[in-house]
Amino acid sequence: MEKISTRLKRLMDEKGIKQTELAARASITQASVSRYVRGMAEPRSRELHAISKVLGVSMESWFSGLPAPAGGGEDGNWKTRATTAERKLREVRAAVSKFNKSMENLDG
């Protein structure tokens, strides 16, 4: 799975957003953004929610990538790993949905 730091760097590059701009628009410190980009820390859920809004991505997108199968998919454990990953992804989606609903209640 792509790390949050890697995905954050990629999204910032794609959107042409600098760390200082992201920090200001997400109401978090530039030092925090720097730590997230360098992989020194991961954002808390509220910060990740704010970053997601600025970058125009869903909270779910941070956790939705599956690693590519080893050996072109011939790995015998790939099906087991994929099933486990899909189950975890469903759990994450449910948690994200619950979180988004609670954030909407706070916002509005």
**CATH code for the domain in which residue 64 is found:** 1.10.260.40
Which of these, 15, 45, 16, 21, lies nearest to 33 by C-alpha position?
21
Residue 58 lies in domain: 4-107
* Number of domains the chain contains: 1
Model pLDDT for residues 39-77, shown as the tens digit of each residue: 899 898 889 999 999 998 888 778 775 443 444 444 445
Handedness of CA 10, 13, 19, 23 (dihedral sign): negative
Global pTM? 0.60
The pLDDT of residue 81: 56
